Amino acid sequence: MSRGLGDVYKRQVFRLSKLCIRGGKRLTGDVVISGAKNAAVAILPAALLVDGICEIENLPYIKDVVLLTEAMQSLGAITSFEDKHTVKVDATTVYSYCATEESIGKMRASYYLIGALLGRFGKAEVAMPGGCNFGKRPIDQHIKGFEALGANVEVRGETIYATAEKLKGTHIYLDVVSVGATINIMLAAVLAEGTTTIENAAKEPHIVDVANFLNMMGANIKGAGTDVIRVKGVEKLQGGKYSIIPDQIEAGTYMMAAAITGGEVYVRNIIPEHMESVSLKMREMGVEIEEGDDYIHVSAGKDLIATNVKTLPHPGFPTDLQPQMTVLLSTAMGRSTMLESVFENRFQYVDQLNNMGTNITVYGNKAEIEGVSQLQGSEVTATDLRAGAAMILAGLKADGETYINEIKYIDRGYECVEEKMRALGADITRI
């Protein structure tokens, strides 16, 4: 169940409408970055492992967070919103290991419920994850990890069933670097008997954040942020308070929004070290980047320079910034390339951008980009979360009006995007 302000927030409808952008405005000013979506959607399920009350601060108020708290309530947890960005979770009342509602299947991050419920109950029944559709994102490495810990896992229809008499620590080598599998195995291993070693682990900042949250609650996890993570099982986790890290993907999106409009923006409440691969590529394009303790100052008053980008696991260039960077490269004179090495079929949005005047040709997992001097407003459809963000950037640059449909995807990961953009000078409204 939910208490307090949570009831108010849960009643807010994320309107499945469209965005209208009148381009040509130079962005200036300050933008404050919200908590990290990718950390929040893992830390909330992790709270189900806690035998007590934990308070999670700096939550982004986005659709995926709302859906996850509702899913946790359906399992018996009490979630109480202290304010828009802070929730208390009391998991002592959780009685169910079945998370099979239709809404759960709409989120990719729902798979973290498997690791959390398996770790808590030795059982889990969870709807197959959904989310953005940009190619196969199998969960075979997740299943491999659960089975190595002693679980039996079956996929029947649209539901994943996992059971274990006793989870025991083991040595797991991931065949591919997988953020989701790394986190899910951590969740399942925290209360397991003995020590679990995860080799070829992902190193993203939100993995470190999840490990830090669990350690704050009493877990024993070492090596997060490296390719070898060791989880020594403990008997129980106790409550506590934790603040989520800033969202590097939201930060990168606003950095590129400043650049594509020739603007000057301070991107605040961030960890500049998390942005290093993005900052380096933007500097290659001629964008001035100045770093402070918790901010980055972006200034782009001159023509952008073409360059080549390849997405890679952290600390490489993030795949979740690939569509936004592709738009930015489209406005740099000359030829650029974007090589997508993390997910297949993540260029589904390109046809939408080409309708706005970009000159992008896709060959499998590679896009060749011929820079153009100007984009034209059009009616487009967001094909996924980050593609939707890319279309916002294109709309900011374009002449005339741009209408973006299916903004439900954007609401999954960007808090108050139109308000934040308007505060920087953009002409953007939800209609």
The CA distances from residue 369 to 47, 66, 78, 126, in Å, are 44, 37, 49, 41
pTM for the model: 0.94
CB atoms near residue 419 (< 10 Å): 10
Compute the distance between CA of residue 289 and CA of residue 284 in angstroms, rounded to an integer. 10
Compute the distance between CA of residue 331 and CA of residue 333 in angstroms, rounded to an integer. 6
Q: Determine the 3-state secondary structure of 316 from DSSP.
A: coil
Can you give the pLDDT at residue 15? Answer: 56
Can you give the pLDDT at residue 107? Answer: 78
The CA distances from residue 342 to 114, 179, 322, 378, in Å, are 23, 11, 10, 30
Longest Cα separation, the chain: 63
Can you give the pLDDT at residue 9? Answer: 44
Strand order, beta sheet including 152-156: 98-99, 123-127, 159-163, 152-156
Please, what is the Cα angle at 289 between 288 and 292, to 5 degrees? 145
Enumerate domains of the chain plus CATH numbers. 2-34+246-430 (3.65.10.10), 37-243 (3.65.10.10)
Q: Is 248 exposed, middle or buried (0-12, 13-18, 19+ CB in 10 A)?
A: buried
Can you give the pLDDT at residue 130? Answer: 66
* End-to-end alpha carbon distance in the chain: 32
Strand partners, 168: 193
User: With a cut of 50, which residues of the chain have pLDDT below it?
Assistant: 1, 4, 6, 8-13, 132-136
Eight-state DSSP code of residue 300:
-
- Backbone CA torsion sign across 43, 138, 66, 407: positive
Can you give the pLDDT at residue 72? Answer: 95
**What token pair was written down for 310?**
């390849």
- Among 239, 195, 244, CA closest to 218: 239
CB 344, CB 411: distance < 8 Å: no
In the residue annotation, 20 being an active-site residue is answered as: no
